[in-house]
Amino acid sequence: MQAFKIATLRAQIAALDEVIADDRRTIEMTRRAEQAGGAAPSAISGGQGQLAKDEAQRPALERDLAAALHQLALLVGQPPATWTAPDFDLAAFKPVTAIPVVVPSSLVRNRPDILAAEATLHADTARIGVATANLYPDIKLSAGLTQQAIEPGNLFRYSSSGWSLAGGLTAPIFHGGTLKANKRAAEAEAKASLARYQGTVLRAFVQVADALTSLEQDERAIAALGRSEQSQTSNLRDARKAYELGGGPLIQVIDAQREFNRARQQTLAAQGRRLSDTVDLFTATAANWRPDNP
């Protein structure tokens, strides 16, 4: 995840540096036009203002990049001051070509939290059987048992503490309701485990649904931003050409460049989000759901 963030931030910084270079070229172009008498001195001020605005975006990106590098160093167990991260390139990360519309629930069952909750439920359910088995009277039977006035209803009463059998032999059967209470406790714990298991499964399903929704929105955003970037690139090229030929104002160039800058930054951010959301889907399913995976 941090690798994707680092690659995205580096791409955004590189794109911003290109915009800043364009700002400087625009200022130089305006200066030449002013010297030739084709532009007012205020035009240079407008270009310098745009340059300062774009340069002001860089410190925030550098701060976020430094924080992501520090987090990655922490993950690999290295001190940030002496460890250098690999040169992650956003273009080198290939997104999954086919995003699933639905994911089989059987894949989600392999999540560690679901497996742990399922194991706990099995253990607590087994305790019910143990507690039930303990309710069986543990006595020594002999021929004298048939001579005792034992009624079936009394034999299994939980208030009994023992029976005298075979010439005065006393065998404990139940312990003042303790075994019955143990069985009720085991049943209650099993119900709680069942509730926890169901909650774990539902949370897993919600996480998968959220990841699928995010990926769907990412794909739509990237497609729309790609069209916008192409349009803004064309507008910027036409505005510069018109200004160089004296048929357009500088403000049109600045506005076109600002819109191109915004479209480019948004496209890079959306591409980074798609990679991060892909990781979220792998994490939510705890399985490789790619179509080419057998």
* pLDDT values of the chain reduced to their tens digit, one per residue, 294 residues: 678 788 888 888 888 888 888 788 778 877 776 676 655 666 677 778 888 888 898 999 899 888 988 888 888 888 877 777 777 877 777 766 666 656 667 778 778 888 898 899 888 888 888 887 776 666 555 555 444 445 555 555 544 444 444 444 444 455 547 777 888 888 888 889 889 888 888 888 888 888 888 888 888 888 898 888 889 889 888 888 887 787 777 778 777 877 887 788 888 888 888 888 888 888 888 766 555 554
Pair type for strands 163-165 and 169-171 = antiparallel
Distance CA 226, CA 266 (A): 10
Do residues 274 and 212 make contact, with C-beta atoms less than 8 angstroms apart?
A: no
DSSP codes, 57-112: THHHHHHHHHHHHHHHHHHTT--TTT-------GGGSPPPS---S---HHHHTT-H
Do residues 265 and 257 make contact, with C-beta atoms less than 8 angstroms apart?
A: no
- Residue 170 tokens read as 């006393």
Distance CA 294, CA 34 (A): 67
One-letter amino acid at 123 equals A
**Length reported for the chain:** 294
Q: Which domains are delineated in the chain?
A: 2-104+206-285 (1.20.1600.10)
**Which residues lie below 8 Å from residue 271, measured CB to CB, with a gap of 6+?**
8, 11, 90, 95, 222
Do residues 19 and 268 make contact, with C-beta atoms less than 8 angstroms apart?
A: no
Distance CA 30, CA 171 (A): 107
CA dist 180 → 122, 156, 172, 254 (Å): 21, 11, 15, 82
- Residue 159 tokens read as 């208030």
Distance CA 19, CA 17 (A): 5
Residue 63 has a pLDDT of 92
Distance CA 285, CA 168 (A): 65
Residue 163 has a pLDDT of 45
Residue 166 has a pLDDT of 45
